[in-house]
Chains A and B, each alone.
Chain A
Amino acid sequence: DSGVTQTPKHLITATGQRVTLRCSPRSGDLSVYWYQQSLDQGLQFLIQYYNGEERAKGNILERFSAQQFPDLHSELNLSSLELGDSALYFCASSVPLGAGANVLTFGAGSRLTVL
Chain B
Amino acid sequence: EIVLTQSPATLSLSPGERATLSCRTSQSVSNYLAWYQQKPGQAPRLLIYDASNRATGVPARFSGSGSGTDFTLTISSLEPDDFATYFCQQRQYWPPLTFGGGTKVEI
Is the A/B pair a real complex?
no
